[in-house]
Amino acid sequence: MAKTTPFVTYLLDMLADLGDVHARAMFGGFGIYHDGVMVGLVADGVFYLKVDDGNRPKYEAEDSQPFRYHRKGKKKPVEMSYWEVPVDVLENPRSLCEWTREAHAAAVRSNAKKGNKPKR
């Protein structure tokens, strides 16, 4: 397994009941994959999960925010379809697995629209 952080190790332990869950280092953070599909990302010590119209209301109800980054040479930040996971969800393995399953479904729907297939 690639070099990881204690927080990423914690997440993988919390998500162990899902089965095939792993992390890949990327752009100074980590992508979190479930069954070959990227369902989340960790950036600056924050865990974000994939969101679409199907699960966005849960995140909005928790006042969660999307992951944003600044592109070099651009003033306006880029907003991604990954939203911050609430702390109470992060602390409960059952809730975290549920939210991650929903993120997986959102990622599968998104990939189907784009014609992408899971990576193993």
2: closest CA among 38, 34, 29? 29
41: closest CA among 53, 54, 24, 55? 24
CA distance 118 to 120: 7
Asked if residues 38 and 27 have their Cβ atoms less than 8 Å apart, the reply is no
Asked if residues 25 and 3 have their Cβ atoms less than 8 Å apart, the reply is yes
pLDDT by residue (tens digit) across 4-17? 899 999 999 999 99
pLDDT of residue 42: 97
pLDDT by residue (tens digit) across 19-78? 999 999 998 899 999 999 999 999 999 999 999 999 999 999 999 999 998 888 888 888
113 pLDDT higher than 80 = no
Fold assignment, 6-114: Yope Regulator; Chain: A, (3.30.1460)
117 pLDDT higher than 80 = no
pLDDT of residue 14: 97
- How are beta strands 66-69 and 46-50 bridged, if at all? unpaired
